[in-house]
Amino acid sequence: MLTLDSEQQAARDWFESLRDRVCAEFEVIEGEAGSDSRFAYTPWNRDDDASGASGGGVMGTMKGRVFEKVGVNVSTVGGAFEGEFAKSIHGAGDDPRFFATGISLVAHMANPHAPAIHMNCRFLRTTKQWFGGGADLNPPIPYAEDTADFHARMKAACDAHDLDYHARFKAWADEYFYIPHRQIHRGVGGIFFDHLEGGFDTDLAFVRDVGEAFLDTFPALIRRRMGQSFTEADRARQLEWRGRYAEFNLVYDRGTLFGLKTGGNIDAILMSLPPLATWS
């Protein structure tokens, strides 16, 4: 059984509360489109498994008229990294024990004009402790207005805490969300940060503002695009783009690897993959 201290519990509580608010808003959007789709929640746990790991999480998924597939997962787990993998994790080289809690969200939209999105925030503790996360916009058909609005809101969240954050974290996102074998970026960017160790309260406040920025801006972008008409060519473009998205998540994404290496729920880990995709 996983026992949490006050900081671990505070981080977990925030991630779960953000999940609840995001899912409620997405269900409202489905209702605005005349759909009664709702999230289905699947709990999972791994207490007392063979590796000594404990904890678990809840996978939330919805398929509807606006959201072709959206997943919002929260997990809180502890245990020990195995073998050489421990050496790749901040602060775990000499002591493989860890704690991790976080939220991960990926939305694939039915309308090709509406952007897909990825957002995650996490708190980890090894011999060190830190926050990481970010959000990036992934439109099959980019619109300069949407890109500008998204980046402006993320910049505002960053600027409220450190005027250097946005330039650093935007550049980090551009570097990270890149598909080397295609020599293209996965989307139009956003922010990405890791190993944020400025103090628990300070960094949790920043992570909270990133979550609020996501909740402020992404539903507005959905509503802007979800009713637009589209062609078969637009849909084909979306499905091909989704193939690129899948390639990144399966080959390069650190979160996918972390989940697999720590014995997470396979369905929750691969929730990020689109429901349909094509390769030419």
Among all residues, which ones are annotated catalytic?
118
Backbone CA torsion sign across 228, 234, 235, 238 = negative
Rounded-to-integer distance, Cα 41 and Cα 202, Å? 31
Q: Which secondary structure element, helix H or strand E, spans residue 225, and what is its range?
A: helix 200-225
The one-letter amino acid code at 271 reads M
Give the number of other Cβ atoms within 10 Å of residue 17's Cβ: 14
Distance, CA of 86 to CA of 98 (rounded, Å): 10
C-alpha to C-alpha distance for 186 and 166, rounded to whole angstroms = 19
Distance CA 123, CA 130 (A): 6
CB 46 within 8 A of CB 77: yes
Assign 3-state DSSP to the chain and report helix, strand, coil percentages, each to 5. Answer: 45, 25, 30
Q: For residue 238, which of 111, 69, 118, 64 has the smallest C-alpha distance? A: 111
